[in-house]
Chains A and B, each alone.
Chain A
Amino acid sequence: MAERGIRTRALRAAFPLTVPIALGFLFLGCSYGMLMGAKGFSFIWPMCMSALIFAGSMEFVTVNLLLSAFNPVTAFLLALMVNARHLFYGLSMLGRFKGLGWKRAYLIFGMCDETFAINSTARIPDGVDRGWFYLWVTLLNQLYWVVGATVGGLIGGNLPFDTDGLEFVLTALFLVIFLDQWVGESAGWRGHASALIGVLASAACLAVFGPDDFMIPSLIALIILFVALRPWLDELAPDRKSADVRHGDGRCDDADHADDVSDAKEETR
Chain B
Amino acid sequence: MTMTVIQGVLTVAAVAIGTMLTRFLPFLVFPESKRPPRIVEYFGRVLPYAMTGLLVVYALRDTPITTGSHGAPELIACLVIVALHLWRRSMLLSIAGGTIVYMLLIQLVF
- Contact of A62 with B12 in the complex, beta carbons under 8 Å: yes
Q: Is A40 an interface residue (CB 8 A)?
A: yes
Selected contact of B94 from candidates A72, A176, A195, A230, CB within 8 Å: A176
A interface residues, Cβ below 8 angstroms from B: 16-17, 19-20, 23, 39-41, 45, 48-49, 52-55, 58, 62, 65-73, 75-80, 83-95, 97-99, 104, 108-109, 111, 113, 116-117, 120-121, 162, 164-166, 168-181, 183, 187, 190-192, 194-199, 201-203, 206, 211, 214-215, 218, 222, 226-227, 230, 233-236, 244, 249-252, 258, 261, 265
Q: A190 to B47, alpha carbons, bound, how many Å?
A: 11
Q: Are B95 and A169 in contact (CB under 8 A)?
A: yes
Q: Which residue from A75, A92, A192, A235 sits with its C-beta under 8 Å from B51?
A: A92
CA gap between A194 and B54 in the complex, in Å? 11
Contact between B50 and A226 (Cβ–Cβ < 8 Å)?
Answer: yes
Q: Given known contacts A87-B25, A165-B102, is B56 in contact with A199 (CB within 8 Å)?
A: yes
| Pair A94/B27 contact, Cβ less than 8 Å | yes
- The complex places the Cα of A85 from the Cα of B16 at a distance, in Å, of 15
Q: Which of A68, A80, A116, A168 contacts B21 (CB 8 A)?
A: A80
Instruction: List the B residue with the shortest CB-CB distance to A67.
Output: B2
Docked Cα-Cα span, A65 to B43, in Å, equals 34
- B56 / chain A contacts, CB cutoff of 8 Å: 171, 174-175, 178, 199
Asked whether, in the complex, the Cβ of B82 is within 8 Å of the Cβ of A197, the reply is: no
Are A198 and B50 within 8 A (Cβ)? yes
Quick one: given A80-B22, A198-B49, A222-B50, are A19 and B92 in contact (CB under 8 Å)?
A: yes
**Docked-complex contact B38 and A251, CB < 8 angstroms:** yes
> Provided the pairs A97-B27, A187-B49, A197-B50 are in contact, do residues A164 and B106 lie with their beta carbons within 8 angstroms?
yes
Q: How far is the CB of B93 from chain A (nearest CB, A)?
A: 10
A178 with B24: CB separation less than 8 A: no
Contacts of B22 in A (CB 8 A): 79-80, 83-87, 90
Given contacts A83-B22, A211-B62, A250-B38, contact A195 B52 (CB under 8 A): yes
Residue of A nearest to B77 (CB): A168
Closest residue of chain B to A55, judged by CB? B19
Contacts of B46 in A (CB 8 A): 190, 194, 197, 226, 233
Q: How far, in angstroms, from A20 to B78 measured CA to CA in the complex?
A: 16
Q: A86-B22, A94-B44, A244-B38 are in contact. Are A20 and B95 (CB under 8 A)?
A: yes
Supply 5 further A-B pairs (C-beta < 8 A) apart from A94-B41, A168-B103, A250-B39: A87-B26, A88-B43, A117-B52, A172-B77, A191-B49
CB pair A251–B37 under 8 Å, yes or no, is: yes
Residues A250 and B26 in contact in the complex (CB < 8 Å), given A70-B11, A165-B99, A206-B57? no
Interchain Cβ contacts under 8 Å between A and B, 23 examples: A45-B8, A67-B1, A67-B2, A70-B10, A73-B14, A75-B11, A75-B15, A88-B43, A117-B52, A120-B51, A121-B52, A164-B103, A165-B73, A194-B46, A194-B50, A194-B53, A202-B57, A202-B58, A203-B57, A222-B50, A230-B42, A249-B37, A261-B41
